[in-house]
């Protein structure tokens, strides 16, 4: 798992699609803040990463609605992200965490070793290239 909170953290990203996507999001964030870290940070979840670490950083479980507590797999589950987009090799889940618009973008690799439940949830709510 990678956490991107500064420009220096970007050097850890070696996937061209992911690097381009995060770069685009940083440029967008800088429209609203002097430095992207004032407005957002990024969590990259990939092959073999454990969700517990991401959940700890977020303060809630990715597989649970953070407002209702309903868990993915339950018939009444609805996701609590604010924006969801599918990209060629990544899913992007955006959570707004405060009234000033600050939040986190969770990028989930479409890879065989990525957490199966998380991938299943992303696939279930996929609408290619659109927000939900």
Stated as kind and residue range, the H or E segment containing 96 is strand 90-96
What is the 3-state secondary structure of 114-125?
CCHHHHHHHHHC
Arithmetic mean of pLDDT, 97-104: 84
Of all residues in the chain, what percent carry a pLDDT higher than 70? 88
The Cα–Cα gap between 113 and 66 comes to 25
- Asked if pLDDT for residue 128 goes beyond 80, the answer is no
Question: How high does pLDDT run on average in the chain?
Answer: 88
Arithmetic mean of pLDDT, 108-132: 84
- Asked if pLDDT for residue 38 goes beyond 70, the answer is no
- Asked if pLDDT for residue 129 goes beyond 50, the answer is no
25, 42 Cβ separation under 8 angstroms = yes
The Cα–Cα gap between 7 and 11 comes to 8
pTM for this entry: 0.87
């Amino acid at each position: 798992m990678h956490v991107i909170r500064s420009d220096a953290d970007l050097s850890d990203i070696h996937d061209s699609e992911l690097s381009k996507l995060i770069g685009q999001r940083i440029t967008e964030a800088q429209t609203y803040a002097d430095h992207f870290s004032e407005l957002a940070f990024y969590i990259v979840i990939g092959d073999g990463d454990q969700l517990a670490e991401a959940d700890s950083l977020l303060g809630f479980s990715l597989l649970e609605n953070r407002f209702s507590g309903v868990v993915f797999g339950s018939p009444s589950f609805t996701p609590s992200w604010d924006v969801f987009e599918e990209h060629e090799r990544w899913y992007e889940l955006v959570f707004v965490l405060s009234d000033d618009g600050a939040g986190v973008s969770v990028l989930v690799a479409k890879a065989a070793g990525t957490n199966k439940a998380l991938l299943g949830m992303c696939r279930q709510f996929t609408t290619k290239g659109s927000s939900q």
